Amino acid sequence: MSESAAYVIGHITVKDPEKWADYRSKVPGTLKPWGAELMFRGQNAMVLSGTHVHTDTVVIRFPEISAATAWFRSDAYQALIPLREQAADVVLIAYEA
């Protein structure tokens, strides 16, 4: 049985817009080796139920969960984490579809 597609969803609150723009410009290059595709990036319009503290969301599709894990652990992405942490508060969650 083959693995299902996987999605990494990021819940984001930007702290430094300039650093966030720099980080965002560098992420796509880290995704290519893993066959990932940026599906959605947007700002929260409203919370319909419950509480959600973050203002922005990103959804990235991977061909399988192992690719999502490999991307996150890759040297290329790990090198961006200090910039990400300066730029925004981010929660990344991986889901299998």
Q: What is the pLDDT of residues 67-82, one digit of tens each?
A: 999 999 999 999 999 9
pLDDT at 2: 57
Alpha carbons 38 and 49: distance in angstroms, whole number: 26
In a domain, 80, yes or no: yes
User: How many domains does one find in the chain?
Assistant: 1
In this structure, how many other beta carbons lie within 10 angstroms of the beta carbon of residue 64? 17
Q: What is the pLDDT of residues 51-69, one digit of tens each?
A: 999 999 999 999 999 999 9
In a domain, 28, yes or no: yes
In a domain, 89, yes or no: yes
In a domain, 81, yes or no: yes
* Confidence band for 1, pLDDT divided at 50, 70 and 90: very low
Name the residue range of residue 65's domain. Answer: 6-96
In a domain, 66, yes or no: yes
**What CATH number is given to the structural domain containing 15?**
3.30.70.100
In a domain, 1, yes or no: no
Alpha carbons 33 and 67: distance in angstroms, whole number: 9
